[in-house]
Amino acid sequence: MTSDVSVGLELVAADAVKKWRQVIGPTNSANAKAQAPTSIRGRFGIDGTRNAVHGSDSAVSSKKETEFWFGGENT
């Protein structure tokens, strides 16, 4: 999943997943470069896999990923 140093962030806001997805751009870097060139993926992504940044795709995924990386009720 990573090829270098990683930094984890938990962003908390109304519609946080949607807002973050707008900042990072489309998953595939080629699409991001065409559709959202100033997004993180548009600027720094290399391809569909090495796209510079991860963002949960839904509130359900966000909850699961946050618990995995930062711990949760069951850890």
The catalytic residue positions are: 54
Which bin fits 32, alpha (ψ -120 to 50), beta or left (φ > 0)? Answer: alpha
Apex 66 CA angle, 64 and 69, nearest 5: 110
What single DSSP character describes residue 39? S
